[in-house]
Structure 1
Amino acid sequence: MTPSTQIREDLPEAFEILDPVWIAMPDGANLAARILLPRSASSKPVPAILEYIPYRRRDGTLLGDTPRHAYFAGHGYAAVRVDLRGSGDSDGILLDEYRKQEQDDAIAVIAWLAAQPWCNGKVGMTGYSWGGFNSLQVAARRPPALKAIIPVHATDDRYGDDCHYMGGGLLLGNLSWASTMTTFSARPPDPAIVGERWRAMWLERLGQSPPLLLEWMAHPLRDSYWRRGSVGEDYGAITAAVYAVGGWADPYTNCVLRLLANVKAPVKAMIGPWAHAYPHDARPGPQIGFLQESLRWFDRWLKDIDNGIEREPKLSAFIQESTPPASDYETRDGRWVREAAAPSPEARQAWYLGEGQLADRPLPGGAPLQHRSPETTGITTGEWCPYGNPGELPIDQRADDGRSLVFDSARLAAPLEMLGTPVLTLRVAIDKPVGIVTARLCDVAPDGASTLISYGVLNLTRRKGFDRSEPMVPGQPETVRIALNDLGQRLKPGHRLRLALSTNYWPILWPAHEAATLTLHAADCRLELPVRKAGANEGPDENPFRAPEAAANVPFTQLRRGRRERVIEEEATTGRTTVVINRDLGAYRLEEDGLEFDGRAVERFSLTEGDPLSARAEIEWHYRMRRGDWEIGTVSRTILTGDTRQFRVSVTMDAYEGEKRIFSRETTRDLPRVGL
């Protein structure tokens, strides 16, 4: 917990913890649940709030779950945490993310909860990331008892707004998350819960859990695989009340305004300054009383308390102030604003490009501009998905600005405030059939410091739709459109707005197989900014939320602090640059049952200047669990390389009982490069 979060010991309701609770599925499989149940529920039934994810309820997420779930239980809700099929202590194999089976199981769980004598028949769902995704997906299936959801850091578009592809380009987050899931899916059930069958269940998981990267890379276009579970295909399918939550430092923010604009059920939205964590505990701050706000939403739709929340402004957004670039912020300067609806696309203000210039009026035409970025352009960006750890955020962009084609505004005479989606229209040609265009927006201070405020990318072979790949005709200009990431930003007077275009974005995106030179017809380009006019009655310090609170945690000991380190290694002799990311989850012991767990990974992304085919990504994970004489461990390695025609993926998994290796598997597969 962050220091600003108050731990509440005096919750209104006493509760008991039921674990394990076995919930039978229609096919006979049992899912394992942990239920924090108010003692009053035996005489006065309560609603249930479900969180449904694959990260192990009794250890993997226990220290994060308990302060939230106990807070809900202490306010009169049954807080329910269920392990997905094939995870934790649940039966089965986890074959992929967001499968129909996952949704079917959730529907069965919701029906089971609603039928319990301690439940009033109404269920809500919440969760961040995976739990936010499936809250939306299950809501689109309309189980009768599901009345409200709070998806946090989620998406409505699995192809265009998840860790796999962005603008039709291959994200390195695809590899990072796949390697994480290779490790997480290989963890065994707890012998203290499932008994002697733990080993057989573990070996079954090790042998049958597929390397998810192979499936994800086998679908480089937006086909039926990605449309499954993308609720943006039919927003009208959602009838439960939706409170969508995101953060400007998180990559899953774009769907928040789309959900607000398109969901027909009662809907509300919140976007703060946060990275990938819950808003009461997220960095950068300021943190808010997210659990109190969640209770207000659930009170309205699960307890029928008329608290007026649905009559309040639908959008609360934190407008960030101009801030010097840094790889970490404890808190961001800014203010909360409230709006009655999502920003209208019609409110965008057009800005125009000239040679080195960006202006809010058309500029004189000039000769076409040519540019080819160095392969390492993008290394100042930070991590695609920050979690609020030091070192993850974008540093000063001047190094990458120098590798890019740059357009600067004049110094601003008045503040420039934006809320919504910037859209860039370009008239471009390239000298190769395949190429990438990256667009960054930066806030440039009077001293020259450049702070990244938004970016967008487009694989030019996807210019006519993400469901098709059509090579560019070398030298032939085409008009393309790039939607940049949503932003809430206020630039100070005296600052400049910078648009920087590049043909690489490493290691956010995998590079095209050959370097391309971009030709830009600047006079035919424009940037549409979601300019916001501050309300006449808007106070400078309007904060609609309470101070953050949470319940007490279970007793635990931190055996090793987690850490994140991001190092850029440059070899002057060879021209090779390597970005090394150390992801150490730390080591912990749960004092109630003595279980210890320990996870860490090292990611290495490298390439040689002038040779895009030299790109290589390698990730190694180590994970261990122990209690008394029982000890297991896994080591996994994931490697991605490519040539002009195909990618090569290699995934290895070794599992140990004590020091004895009891399982080993190596999977290598070549996959075609489809316009990548």
Structure 2
Amino acid sequence: MAATIVAGVGASLVLSAAPASATGIPHVQGGQTVPVYSYENAVRESVWVQTRLDNDRDGVPDKVAVDITRPREAADRRIKVPVILEASPYYSCCGRGNESELKQYDANGVITKQPLFYDNFFVPRGYAFVAADLAGTNRSTGCMDVGGREEVLSAKAVVDWLNGRATATYADGTPAVATRWTNGRTGMIGKSWDGSVANGVAATGVEGLETIVPISAISSWYDYQRYNGVLRAEDYPEYLHQVVNGRPAGVCAATVEQLDSGSDDVTGNYNAYWAERDFRPDARKVHASVFIAHGINDTNVTTTQFAQWWQRLDVPKKIWLAQQGHVDPFDIRRAEWVDTLHRWFDRWLQGLRNGIDREPAATIETAPGTWVDERTWPASAAKTTKVALGDGDGMTGTLGGGSTAGSRTWTDAPDLSEAAAVASPGTAVPGRVSFLSAPLTRPVRISGTPTVTLRVQVDKPTTELTARLVDYGTATRVNYLGRGEGITTLATESCWGASTTADDACYRDTAEAVVTSDHAVVTRGWQDAAHHVSLRFVTPLQPGRWYSVTVPMQATDQRIAAGHVLGLILQASDNEYSTPQSTGATIRLDLRGSSLSLPLAGKLPVPGATAPVVTTSSPAPARVAPPRFQPLLP
């Protein structure tokens, strides 16, 4: 009989007898991995993996600090285990998870506490957990280049080491050989920046990386720091470098200069700097399976990041979409997430045929607490629907209907807030124009990426253009704009795995935060008009000339209830979700040459001659802080 650890929700560390596995592998029983190894007695060690890079220019190859927790009993029996790897810049500066956990070490510099539950839960089940400090952070050398070559290749080097293709040493300089205890099968996981690294490493096609689980992750750093030529925040790469930098003052000055010049705030162009940080063109190189999780209302790492990546991937894949913002599914739907993640890793790292790859690929939260499984995403029933912009009463236009040479004119109002722009769409508000559908006779679903094409005259060489889709109608919705981005942290705890005195597996419980409001923004989009030809260069507009400019909005999946009204709100620069470069332009919009494209399941009703009367008595929830100042933090 082998010893097993019984540990889970609210459980303590208990040793009990477990029957021998039919496979001969103690941690595989009944077609799944089970907790048979001691977490308290696990091997905990730190190694430094050598890379082929030297971007701190000290003449010595940069080294990645790697902290490992692995089952001792498996190693003693010469059972090689797969690896769950999280490569992060946050282990010493900012922490991981809802409780901002940091790595902790003993007096000898050996890891005693790994953030999050992955080691507590999976090590007893026959996995190793490996936490790597990205180049230039915590105990690693090199310099953090914010999504660039050094960052991605520093994490890739760890995968190479786990597969015997790179060298590493312990702190005393003696060799550390991973292939003595691992079979090299590696899965990368992480939220936000960590998940972005997983995307980047997968895009190298590195052998041994079998699966990735990117949570609220970036697939194009240009799209994270630019909205189609619109600047999100000034000096943002340099700021992010400063937040996570673990090197002495001045060591990384050359890298910071490269971040400043390469990112090119002045033009907003997509250039070689951004191409290096764009993983989407290399989606064809990905051979790892991919399990994406993202908040459909994430205004930090916006939804185009998962949508464009998902569409390009040609591998086994799965997706979870929640109504929250930048939130880990562990803090939304904890039990279901842990169970699904366990089955996913068992399938792709342990090789257990548990059927998860044959289940519906998409799990979507349609309303607070309501989840559905679907075959794929976007919804197969959603068809691209072109919606004309109608005249309406000459002030408030209609979605659908015709226009008799109608137009709208407005002047950029850079101080116009989102709340003011979307409120009471039937009234005159300087700096915005509005278009409304008729009240819906049946519910519809928007599933995918809406766009709006605007035929405009502009009296300046450029202007920023902002579009918002708004659901006008009272409903209880997830409060993703609140302080918790859709969750409330409770006083109670639940435990997910085994614990030690230094590293417990218990985390504060959470609940969905909801709000009842009579309208809410469904999705947003931004475009610099002078980038209407290409994001690679500026094409100044000539005053008096007509141009067609398409404003892509963020991908979404929302249901609009019967009786509600769908609204399109247009303005110029946006002072909340970007750093506006206002030119003070006046914009004339030709309605006949403009249209809204919706990925729509269902039909919008035929509009009347004028838009319905819509008033808002309660303000839409507002952000607790302007999103453009929101760093890419946990």
Length-normalised TM-score, structure 1? 0.67
**Alpha-carbon shift at residue 532 of structure 1 (Å):** 2.6
Secondary structure in structure 1 of the residue aligned to 2:183: strand
In the alignment, the residues of structure 1 paired with residue 527 and residue 120 of structure 2 have an alpha-carbon distance, to the nearest angstrom, of 44
Letter of the 1:349 counterpart:
T
For residues 333-383 of structure 1, the C-alpha deviation after alignment (integer angstroms, 9 at most, x for no partner) is 5442413354469812222211356656432324321011422123549xx
| Alpha-carbon distance between aligned partners in 1 of 2:293 and 2:577, rounded to the nearest angstrom | 24
The residue aligned with 1:461 is 530
2:159 to 93, 98, 110: 110
Q: Does 1:165 align with 2:226?
A: yes
Write the distance in 2 (CA, Å) between the matches of 1:361 and 1:441.
15
CA gap of 1:499–1:169, structure 2 versus 1, over 3 A, is same
Query: 1: distance between equivalents of 2:470 and 2:532?
Result: 24
Structure 2 CA distance for aligned equivalents of residues 486 and 58 of structure 1: 32
Cα distance between partner residues in 2 of 1:12 and 1:41: 10
Which has a greater percent of strand? 1
- Choose 248-257 or 352-361, whichever is displaced more: 352-361
Q: Distance in 2 between matches of 1:254 and 1:515?
A: 28
Change (3 A) 1:451 1:287: farther
Between the aligned partners of 1:9 and 1:533, the Cα distance in structure 2 is 51
Match of 1:52 in 2: 87
Aligned to 2:342: 295
Rounded Cα–Cα distance in structure 2 between residues aligned with 1:126 and 1:265: 17
- Counterpart of 1:80 in structure 2 is 130
- 1:295-314 Cα offsets, whole Å, 9 max, x none, are 22221111111111111122
Unaligned runs of 5+ in 2: 1-7, 14-34, 53-59, 103-114, 165-177, 476-516, 604-621
- The alignment covers a number of residue pairs equal to 498
Letter in 2 for 1:365: T
1:246 match: 294
Whether the 8 Å CA contact 1:261–1:342 is kept in 2: the answer is no
Is 1:18 matched with 2:44?
Answer: yes
Amino acid at match of 1:427: R
Report if the CA contact (8 A) 1:168-1:458 is conserved: yes
Q: Which amino acid aligns with 2:199?
A: L
Alignment partners' CA distance in 1, 2:66 and 2:624: 37
Residue 474 in 1 paired to residue 547 in 2?
Answer: no
Pick aligned residue for 2:146 from 97, 100, 104:
97
Match of 2:283 among 235, 248, 268: 235
Once the two structures are overlaid, the 10-residue window that deviates more, 498-507 or 242-251, is 242-251
- Residues 1:273 and 2:318 aligned together: no
The answer on whether the counterparts of 2:382 and 2:445 sit within 8 Å (CA) in structure 1 is no
Closer, same or farther: CA 401–222 of 1 in aligned 2, 3 Å: farther
How far the C-alpha of 1:141 sits from its partner, in A, is 1.3
Please give the residue correspondences for 1:476-491 in structure 2 after superposition, counting only pairs within 5 Å: 476-491=545-560
CA contact (8 A) 1:376 1:506 kept: yes
Deviation at 1:98, TM superposition (A): 2.3
Decide whether the 8 Å contact of 1:36 with 1:70 is kept in 2. Answer: no
Alignment partner, residue 404 of structure 2:
365
Aligned to 1:531, which of 600, 621, 630?
600
Q: Distance in 1 between matches of 2:82 and 2:440?
A: 52
- The secondary structure found in structure 2 opposite 1:63 is coil
Contact 1:124 1:148 in 2 (8 A): yes
| SS of equivalent residue, structure 2 residue 388 | strand
- The answer on 1:182 being equivalent to 2:242 is yes
Q: For the structure 1 residues 421 and 345, does the alpha-carbon distance in structure 2 shift closer, same or farther, using more than 3 Å as the test?
A: farther
Aligned equivalent of 1:196: none
Conserved? CA contact 2:146–2:240, under 8 Å: no
Q: Does 1:495 align with 2:528?
A: no
* 3-state DSSP of counterpart to 1:210: helix
2:248 equivalent in structure 1: 202
Deviation string, structure 1 residues 535-569 (Cα, Å, up to 9, x no partner): xxxxxxxxxxxxxxxxxxxxxxxxxxxxx99479x
**Distance change (3 Å), C-alpha of 1:6 and 1:518:** farther
Pick aligned residue for 2:268 from 202, 212, 220: 220
Larger relative contact order, structure 1 or 2 (CA cutoff 8 Å, min sep 6): 2
Post-superposition CA distance 1:498-520 (Å, at most 9, x none):
10000121032222342011111
Partner of 1:514: 583
Unpaired stretches in structure 1, ≥5 consecutive residues: 188-200, 321-331, 382-393, 535-563, 569-578, 587-676
Match of residue 347, structure 1, among 383, 387, 397: 383
1:123 & 1:105 partners in 2: Cα distance?
15
Matched, 1:404 2:404: no
Structure 2 residue identity aligned to 1:107: K
Deviations 1:613-655 (A, max 9, x none): xxxxxxxxxxxxxxxxxxxxxxxxxxxxxxxxxxxxxxxxxxx
Distance 1:477 1:312, change over 3 A: same
**Aligned residue in 1 for 2:362:** 315
Q: Secondary structure of 1:141's match?
A: coil
How far does the alpha carbon of each residue in 1:454-497 deviate from its partner, in whole angstroms, 9 at most, with x for none? 01011000001111100111121111212211111111222111
Contact kept, 8 Å, 2:211 with 2:289, in 1: the verdict is: yes
**SS at the partner of 2:163?**
helix
C-alpha offsets along residues 549-599 of structure 1, whole Å, 9 cap, x if unaligned? xxxxxxxxxxxxxxx99479xxxxxxxxxx99899x99xxxxxxxxxxxxx
Match of 1:545 in 2: none
The amino acid across from 1:234 in the alignment is: D
Give the counterpart letter for 1:101 in structure 2: E
User: Could you tell me whether the CA contact under 8 Å between 2:163 and 2:184 is conserved in 1?
Assistant: yes
Match of 1:306 in 2: 353
- Give the secondary-structure state (helix, strand or coil) at the position aligned to 2:67: strand
Aligned pair in 2 of structure 1 residues 379, 499: CA closer, same or farther (>3 Å)? closer
State the AA in 2 paired with 1:265.
Answer: V
2:503: which partner in 1? none
Partner of 1:377: 416
SS in structure 1 opposite 2:131?
strand
Q: Could you report, residue by residue, the CA deviation over 1:213-269 in whole angstroms, capped at 9, with x for unpaired residues? A: 554235721112111132221321111111122111213322333333321222222
Distance 2:117 2:467 in 1: 40
2: CA distance, partners of 1:245 / 1:464: 33
Residue of structure 1 in register with 2:101 after alignment: 63
Q: 1:277 to 1:419 in 2, by over 3 A?
A: same
Helix, strand or coil: the match of 1:445? Answer: strand
Alpha-carbon distance in 1 for matches of 2:413, 2:377: 42
| CA–CA separation in structure 2 for the residues paired with 1:205 and 1:495 | 57
1:426 maps to which residue?
A: 454
Amino acid of the residue matched to residue 241 of structure 2? M
Report sequence identity in percent: 25
1:151 to 185, 202, 214: 214
Cα deviation for residue 209 of structure 1 reads: 5.9
Could you tell which deviates more after superposition, 39-48 or 400-409? 400-409
Q: Contact 2:417–2:576 (CA<8 Å) still a contact in 1?
A: yes
The whole-number CA distance in structure 1 between the counterparts of 2:560 and 2:532 is 31
